[in-house]
Amino acid sequence: MILNFSILVGRKKARKGILTFFFYLASIYDKIKTVVNSMYNYINGRIVEQNSNYIVLDCSGIGYQIHVSNPFEFELDHEEKVYVYQHITEDAETLYGFKTIDQKNLFLKLIGVKGVGPKLVLPMLATGSVSGIIDAIDRENILYLKKFPKIGDKVAKQMILDLKGKLAVSIDSSPSGGFEELVSVLEGLGYKTVDIKKILPNMDANKPIETQVKEALKLLLK
């Protein structure tokens, strides 16, 4: 009897240990997925094909199929910089592309909302402006959000709950004049957006990004 009880206790502990291990794997899955999904920032190449919901970008002889909100905002047979996000699931690996860094930043915020995925967000970016979507979330304008396909009361309210007041700073601080990539690099190095914006009038957007970063760091260290 004592032996049987010991075996029963041992089995319960074993099951508990296995469950704990699987819960741990589940807890780190999103972190691992985020690291993998952030491999690409942008791809430079030539637009060789436009379809209803994706473009094909030729870069060094490799054709990248990139799903975008509006394929026709990219010019066919021209060199383009496409900001990308690599979405990896158990069934597929998909590249999503954006004309501007603002679109990509908003996309990443929106897909972080519970119940919202890339296929739900792309139509929002196709028919709504970045500033319009942010304004609707900040003003709790549910009617505006519901005009987008498959966005109902529940999802619209969840977007507002998760993102209200958290989007304006990152978007409003994005500078004009083609310095989006420079700002992103400098912010990644820990510099404040306010300080970065002060030096932008002294920068040349036509120079290579490596040169821009070197010159920006010199100005920031003065």
Domain ranges, ordered by start, for the chain? 1-35, 38-99, 101-172, 175-220
The per-residue pLDDT for range 35-85, each reduced to its tens digit, is 345 577 899 999 999 999 999 999 999 999 999 999 999 999 999 999 999
Q: Extract the tokens encoding 75.
A: 């010019």
Residue 196: exposure state from Cβ atoms within 10 A (0-12, 13-18, ≥19): buried
Q: Which CATH superfamily is domain 101-172 in?
A: 5' to 3' exonuclease, C-terminal subdomain (1.10.150.20)
The answer, yes or no, to whether residue 34 has pLDDT greater than 90, is: no
Q: What is the pTM of this model?
A: 0.63
CB 172 within 8 A of CB 179: no
Torsion 18-19-22-23 (CA) sign: negative
DSSP state for residue 9 in the 8-state scheme? H
CB 124 within 8 A of CB 110: yes
Which percentage of the chain shows pLDDT scores above 90? 49
Q: What is the pLDDT of residue 11?
A: 59
* Fold match between domain 38-99 and domain 101-172: no
Q: What is the pLDDT of residue 66?
A: 97
Q: What is the pLDDT of residue 13?
A: 58
Q: What is the pLDDT of residue 121?
A: 96
Q: What is the pLDDT of residue 189?
A: 85
Q: What is the pLDDT of residue 25?
A: 47
The answer, yes or no, to whether residue 28 has pLDDT greater than 80, is: no
The second-level CATH assignment, the architecture, of 38-99 is: Beta Barrel (2.40)
The answer, yes or no, to whether residue 27 has pLDDT greater than 70, is: no
Going from the C-alpha of 64 to that of each of 35, 41, 84, the distances in angstroms are 21, 14, 11
Q: What is the pLDDT of residue 17?
A: 57
The answer, yes or no, to whether residue 1 has pLDDT greater than 70, is: no
The per-residue pLDDT for range 181-210, each reduced to its tens digit, is 888 888 888 888 778 877 887 888 778 888
Q: What is the pLDDT of residue 32?
A: 41
The per-residue pLDDT for range 111-152, each reduced to its tens digit, is 999 999 999 999 999 988 888 899 899 999 999 999 999 999
Nearest to 47 by CA among 13, 80, 11: 80
